[in-house]
Structure formats: C-alpha cells, structure tokens
Structure 1
Amino acid sequence: MKKLKYTLLFFIINFTGLAIGNFFMNGGPKSDWYLNLNKAPWTPPGWVFGAAWTFIMICFSIYLGKQFSEKNRSKLISVVFCLAFILNVSWNYIFFNQQLIFLALINITLLTTVLCYCFFNFKNYNYLLLPYIIWLCIATSLNLYILVHN
C-alpha cells in the first residue's frame, strides 16, 4: 500500500512537472524559431514526444514509488529526484523559451548523468529507468545536432 501511495504521488508530481515545462516552452516545437531550425534527420514526429514522455513518466513514477518505500534510501533519492525534476522542467524553458541551445545541452547532459547515477547506484527496479535514459540519449543527440547545425 505504501508503494501505491508513493507511486500515485509521483504520478501527480511528474505529470505536473511536464505541464509546467510545457507552459514555459513559449510555443515549443510549434514556434517559428524551432520550425526553422536545421533538425537531425532522426528527429521523430511530434506525437512521439508526447507518447514517449507519458510512458517515461509512468515508469519513472513507479520507480520512485518503489524507491521511496525503502526507508534507507529516501533522503538520497529525494535529493536526486529534486535535481532531476528541476533539470527536466528547466530544459524546456532554456531550450524553447530562451533559445539557449548550448546551455540546454549542458542541462540535458546533467539530467542524463543524474538518471545514470540512479541506474547504477539504486540497483533495485533500475529497469524502469531505461526508457528515460534511452529517451534522454536521443534527446541529447537532437539537442547537439541543433547546436552544431544552426
């Protein structure tokens, strides 16, 4: 029951984070600025981003629910989660709103590092982080391509 309560709490927190990030995107992928960028040939269609983030946040919420139900990890995982949350939400603002592509690349690289830290140090349930890490690798490559080709 404790795992379920934590999982539901993180569903709310993570999907609220996605909504906040979306709010600060300044038109995001539909903006003239983004539409006129040279994008990587492997850039997925727009609908894939929404589907991917939905799946990622479901897996991440389950992962966090399981991790937070283990008492010996709650403080460290709290710090790591807060850092990941801030980096995830702020990337949208930095990239889309402020159009600071290099700073966004640093941001997403840090976020990927934080998730990899979780993967290698909190070994229980780490398979639930794989969709997030894989997506971050793809997103990092897209961000880097835009930096290099614009």
Structure 2
Amino acid sequence: MDWSVFALFLCACGAAAATGSLFPPGEWYRALNKPSWTPPDWLFPIAWTTLYIASAYAATRIAVRDDNAHAMAFWALQIALNALWTPVFFGLQRIRGGMVALVFLWLAVFGTMLSFFAHDALAGWLMVPYVVWVTVAGALNLSVWRLNPEEAAGQA
C-alpha cells in the first residue's frame, strides 16, 4: 500500500470531518424533536472515524488501478457532498436542505461502492458500512423533518 496516497485520502476525509467542529449541533438541534431510535451523540465520532479510515483505505486500493476514473470521481463527489451536509443542516439549520444533500450523498456513496466493487472486492466491501450509515443518517434527517414541521415550514 502506498501510505502517501492513503494519507492524502485520509486528509480529504479529515477536511470533511472538520465541518463537524465548525458547525456543531448546538442548542437548535438539541431542541428539535427526534425519533426514539436516534443514535447517542458519542456514537457519531466513532462511526465517522471508522468510516473515514475504511473509505480512505478503499480509495487507496482503487487509486492504483487502471481505468479507475469513474471510481475516483465518485469518491471525490461523495467526500464533497459529505462535507456539505453538516454546514447545511447544522450551520444553516436547513432540515430540507440537509435531506437533499443526503439524497445526493447516498447516491454518490452507493455509486462509489459499486464502482469500487468493479475494481476490487475488498474496496467495495469497505464502502458497505458507509452506505448503511448514510442510509441511517437519511432516515434520521427525514424523521427530524417530519417531527418538526413548523421548523421545516419556515425554511426557503
């Protein structure tokens, strides 16, 4: 494995993760109605750290392959959309906007997973938990939207 390539992918993940520090949930989020199955706050940094490491490792495996352009483009798209969700949802406090970002993020992560499977089974499997987690995040975002119609109604 080329550790310098892994470090670059991990840095991209770190940049996406930094949005969580720049736009923490805060009082606005704590005051929202959330479903009973909302994961505990402590789980989010553990889950994202694990997913980012797995994603960076998977991308490193694919980066050295021939004909990897679509796979790498999908990976770049998903990390950009990943970085977008937190500022939209927590920073701008846009529940619907966060849902739109999550739909596109899910599609990009799913596309990344499929394109990784086409090149390397392990890289594809490393993306499966990410698809699952973004699915849960989407369900959570949708539930928050439905449980807070007054909050969502005030959004453009």
What is the TM-score normalised by the length of structure 2? 0.86
CA offset digits 1:27-77 (Å, max 9, x no partner): x22x1110100011111111100000000001000000001011310x323
Alignment correspondent of 1:141: 139
Once residues 63 and 138 of structure 2 are traced to their aligned partners in structure 1, the CA distance between those partners, rounded to angstroms, is 28
Give the secondary-structure state (helix, strand or coil) at the position aligned to 2:67: helix
Runs of 4+ residues over 3 Å off in structure 1? none
1:33 correspondence with 2:32: no
1:108 correspondence with 2:107: no
Moved more, 8-17 or 124-133: 8-17
Q: Supply the RMSD in Å over aligned alpha carbons.
A: 1.3
- What does 1:1-150 align with in structure 2 at a 5 Å threshold? 1-2=1-2, 4-19=3-18, 21-25=19-23, 28-29=24-25, 31-73=26-68, 75-123=69-117, 124=120, 125-150=123-148
What amino acid does structure 1 have at the position aligned with 2:37?
A: W
Once residues 5 and 132 of structure 2 are traced to their aligned partners in structure 1, the CA distance between those partners, rounded to angstroms, is 24
CA contact 2:15–2:83 (8 Å) conserved in 1? no
Q: Unmatched 5+ residue regions in structure 1? A: none
What amino acid does structure 2 have at the position aligned with 1:5?
A: S
Q: Unmatched 5+ residue regions in structure 2? A: 149-156
What amino acid does structure 1 have at the position aligned with 2:52?
A: M
Give the secondary-structure state (helix, strand or coil) at the position aligned to 1:46: coil
Once residues 79 and 40 of structure 1 are traced to their aligned partners in structure 2, the CA distance between those partners, rounded to angstroms, is 35
Once residues 23 and 46 of structure 1 are traced to their aligned partners in structure 2, the CA distance between those partners, rounded to angstroms, is 14
Once residues 35 and 101 of structure 2 are traced to their aligned partners in structure 1, the CA distance between those partners, rounded to angstroms, is 19
Once residues 77 and 120 of structure 1 are traced to their aligned partners in structure 2, the CA distance between those partners, rounded to angstroms, is 8
Bigger relative contact order, structure 1 or 2, given CA contacts below 8 A and separation 6+? 1
Give the secondary-structure state (helix, strand or coil) at the position aligned to 2:33: coil
Give the secondary-structure state (helix, strand or coil) at the position aligned to 1:49: helix
What is the TM-score normalised by the length of structure 1? 0.89
Number of residue-to-residue matches in the alignment:
144
